[in-house]
Structure 1
Amino acid sequence: MKIIRSKSFTGERAWAALDIANMNGITTRLHWTDQPYKWHVNDGQEVFAVLDGRVEMHFKDNGVEQSTILETGDVFYASVGTAHVAHPLGVARILVVESEGSV
């Protein structure tokens, strides 16, 4: 059993992660960041939940770049093949559920 106070989690670097669980190859990780990630496409599906802060999520839909602001409590789902990149607006804490070894 674990109790994790996400608002208390900080990292030494952007996108620092706390591994929470690995369930049959699906990982759940808490990330702390104050910097953008990089454009990427996951091998599998990804669920991205903003626990604290705000994130501007850029993604490509039919080859057209779009973006949306994710507020605390919002969830972004990336299907297989969805190119995306997260840009935190200040400090953010994000729960990410994805296939083990995803970028």
Structure 2
Amino acid sequence: MCIGFPMTVLEGDELSALCERKGVRERISMLLVGEQPSGAHVLVHLGAAVRVLDDDEAAMIGAALDGLGAAVAGDNFDQYFADLIGREPELPAHLRPDMK
């Protein structure tokens, strides 16, 4: 399984960018998404930006990854999934039998 991480662009060009996540900086390939401005969020897989993220999506993915880390450590993780607590799980529209 491959996990993507949201990272923030610090500086770069159409080929690569210096990006950061939680204080860790890494040079990332930008060939799939093109040059992005400083402050943009990108989803990174195996050293390559594969998609540009908006602020909300980057925060949700970051929280989910933090929640996964907390769960693996045996810590409480409810606060990382606030959007899921207190409601019934729902299938995405494309998987619901009534939408086929």
For Structure 1 versus Structure 2, the TM-score category normalised by the shorter chain is under 0.3
Higher strand share: 1
Higher helix share: 2
The structure with the largest alpha-carbon Rg is: 2
TM-score (norm 2): 0.26
TM-score (norm 1): 0.25
